[in-house]
Structure 1
Amino acid sequence: MSTIDALTALTIVEMTVPGRLDDVDAADFHASVALNNAVCLNDTGLLDLQSTAEELLPHWQDRTDTVRRTLLAREGGVLVGAITLYYAVAEPTSAEIDLMVLPENWGRGIEQALLARAEDEVRQLGRSVIQSWTLHRADRTGAMLTPATGWGEIPRSPLAALLLDSGYALEQVERTSAFDLQGDLTPIQSALDAALAVAGEEYRVVEWTLPTPPERRDGYAWALSRMSTDAPSGGLEVDEETWDAERIARRDARFLDGGQTVSVAAVEHVPTGTLAAFNELAIGADPEGVTHQYCTLVLKEHRGHRLGIVVKCANILRWRRIAPLSPRISTFNAEENRPMLDINEALGFAPVSYAGAWQKRLA
């Protein structure tokens, strides 16, 4: 189905997800990935958020747990923008959108048309909340916006202004931080030793590289589900997520099918055999690529034992052996998450960009 704006000859059509990247119908997928990378580079001034088509395709193909759909906007056959919808199948409240229009195409109605079409799609899904993100450089200037949490601020960029004018509220600010993986890791080892001494014998480090060992899947499913309840979310409406061993296996497969290597460092609570904390580091097929930290969490009932330092340090030291050529780790943290930011800053993570989390409740 397509939408046509007679004033601009703009067409918006849903992208076909190819079976393979060398299929004849894969050109649009490659183009959407290139557009996303260009927008991330323009907004942050960094190459850290670049993704490859190989990494992303499995996440578009597998719709068992999360559905990803991309709408492409063209003028005269030329791609001028896109918007992606993400929504979890088991969690019914919200859908996330990612609007991608480069500066040279901004201001001609393309961004408004894509946003309106995406909102219509979300309404048809029966979801009541739309969420989105804006990216911002570290050298922030001009008018600033502060979220309802009072933590952090972002510039009023064109996309931020569009969302604000369209009824979205800024609910949270996240900081992107980077850690130099090529530096001396002696301080990391020292921090790990000190934290383990505080944690004591009730906690022990366990590590694995995806795929998650079968005997760990149930426990990891429970720990990962706690990201939706225990991680700071500002004013964002977040459904409690349901995870099981099968969902963990499918998640692992998407990463592995995309050519990614993912290391998990976790802490087991010895008396109960449950996981109390975990940290994930990932890299694509390029051994010199940027490392991405995915999820990190200390479950609420286990906080106060320095387990955040334990999992971060343990995984950084393990990662040096897995990806010795990777230059740095890139990670996002909510500005109100001072305990985790305190750990990051103590270990040498430095802020490099920012992101705003936006939300609109549909009537």
Structure 2
Amino acid sequence: MTAYTVHELVVPATMDDDPGTVQAFREWLAVSDAAEVAVHGLRELVWVPDEYLPMCHEPGAPSRLFAVRDETGATVAAGSYDTKQEPGTSNCWLAVGVAPEHLRRGVGTLLADHLEGIARAEGRTQCKTYAVSRQVGSASGPGYVQAPTGFGAVPEDEAGVRFLTGRGWRFGQVNRISRLPLPTDHSVVRELHDRASAAAGPDYAVHAWTGRTPDEWLEGIALLETRMSTDAPSGDMDEPEDVWTPERLRAHEDELARAPRTMLTVAVEHVPSGILAGFTQVAVPDDPARAAMQWDTLVLREHRGHRLGWLLKVVGIETIERDHPGHPSIITFNAEENRPMLDVNEAVGFVGVGSEGIWEHRPA
């Protein structure tokens, strides 16, 4: 019987680091990607090492990466453990991916036991994980596990669903994965822009930039990032407030700037107060053959009802097509219960291509 062992990786500082360390990271990422593509089939979601590595060095919350290797030294599973280092942190995020040809050999169980053991040893009382799914669109009835939100479901026969259910994890929410082919129908986007601008009225002004946040908006973006943890849909799963300061935001931006991509930020200002009422960010790879990825999008609760989400979305699309032409698509993830954002996605031309379940576990 094949012997499998868990190894914690030394995360390289850069892709020019020690060759052995970099190669181990490349192998880890290849297995992680392969495990997800085997489920949803979306090659556009495969990461490039240079793009992924900076996210492993998130200030105050660096990723710990783990590989399961067989007796030949080959990497057959990839896992990660993410949590803030700040004292009193109660939650963490785990990920387990097994190479398709090594499923049902106890590899996933070995890795999950290891990661959950770390969470218990560090006193984490809440673990979450994302599990990608082939499911596209809504579903119900026999053969599906329904989200407690009432929106979305995942097939109960998927390996990840069976694995998490068997380990006592609780299904909490569904994110829809949507794809917008580029170029868009410019007349449709322009009409939506005009309608959203009219609904917002003169009290709201749009600002856009690439790279580091201008000093004048630094506190505003830090507040919006903080409110992502409290205002964004999270189903019925508790989400501790994740406080962002201007200093943390700057360190975060400096790390992300090392990746071969441009971060586009579109924000909307409430002019009477000078407060940023919402924002969206899109990561645009330097390679035009790769898809742009929509990151955080939020409109503060107290400013909803003015079509600001629509305005942010269409300005982002227009900016990408004008300043970064040639990309095949934009990919976005949205909670199935977030109907206002799904409405604008569908109106612009986004099409559902898959989903992911968000699961929760509270270690004993």
* Residue in 1 that maps onto 2:306: 305
Contact 1:13-1:71 within 8 A present in 2 as well: yes
Could you report, residue by residue, the CA deviation over 1:2-45 in whole angstroms, capped at 9, with x for unpaired residues?
xxxxx742111101112332422211101111112212211111
Match of 1:48, SS state, is helix
| 2:12 aligned to which of 7, 12, 18 | 18
1:82 aligns with 2:72: no
- Distance (Å, rounded) in 2 between the aligned partners of 1:285 and 1:154: 34
One-letter amino acid of the counterpart of residue 22, structure 2:
A
| 2:23 aligned to which of 27, 35, 39 | 27
| 2:132 aligned to which of 130, 135, 144 | 135
Kindly tell me the number of residue pairs found equivalent between the two proteins: 356
One-letter amino acid of the counterpart of residue 269, structure 2:
E
- Distance (Å, rounded) in 1 between the aligned partners of 2:236 and 2:146: 13
Q: CA 1:50–1:206 in structure 2 vs 1: closer, same or farther (change >3 Å)?
A: same
Q: CA 1:325–1:161 in structure 2 vs 1: closer, same or farther (change >3 Å)?
A: same
- Distance (Å, rounded) in 1 between the aligned partners of 2:135 and 2:44: 13
- Distance (Å, rounded) in 2 between the aligned partners of 1:177 and 1:66: 28
Give the unaligned 5+ runs of structure 2: none
* Residue in 2 that maps onto 1:151: 151
One-letter amino acid of the counterpart of residue 154, structure 2:
I
Deviation at 1:51, TM superposition (A): 1.0
- Distance (Å, rounded) in 1 between the aligned partners of 2:195 and 2:217: 27
One-letter amino acid of the counterpart of residue 76, structure 2:
V
TM-score under structure 2 length normalisation: 0.94
One-letter amino acid of the counterpart of residue 82, structure 2:
Y
Contact 1:83-1:98 within 8 A present in 2 as well: yes
Q: Which moved more, 1:215-224 or 1:18-27?
A: 18-27
* Residue in 1 that maps onto 2:242: 241
1:173 aligns with 2:174: yes
Deviation at 1:114, TM superposition (A): 0.4
* Residue in 1 that maps onto 2:233: 232
Could you report, residue by residue, the CA deviation over 1:253-307 in whole angstroms, capped at 9, with x for unpaired residues?
2221012201111110001111011111112231221010001111000001110
Deviation at 1:348, TM superposition (A): 1.3
Deviation at 1:147, TM superposition (A): 1.4
1:120 aligns with 2:114: no
- Distance (Å, rounded) in 1 between the aligned partners of 2:30 and 2:233: 31
Match of 1:278, SS state, is strand
Deviation at 1:89, TM superposition (A): 3.1
Deviation at 1:252, TM superposition (A): 1.2
Deviation at 1:197, TM superposition (A): 1.1
Q: Any residues of structure 2 matched to 1:1-363 within 5 Å, and which?
A: 8-22=2-16, 23-24=18-19, 25-60=21-56, 62-76=57-71, 77-90=73-86, 92-138=89-135, 143-156=143-156, 157-363=158-364
- Distance (Å, rounded) in 2 between the aligned partners of 1:332 and 1:63: 21
- Distance (Å, rounded) in 2 between the aligned partners of 1:114 and 1:195: 48
TM-score under structure 1 length normalisation: 0.94
Contact 1:94-1:237 within 8 A present in 2 as well: no
Q: CA 1:229–1:139 in structure 2 vs 1: closer, same or farther (change >3 Å)?
A: closer
Contact 2:203-2:270 within 8 A present in 1 as well: yes
Deviation at 1:102, TM superposition (A): 2.1
Give the unaligned 5+ runs of structure 1: 1-6
Match of 1:356, SS state, is strand
- Distance (Å, rounded) in 2 between the aligned partners of 1:123 and 1:340: 36
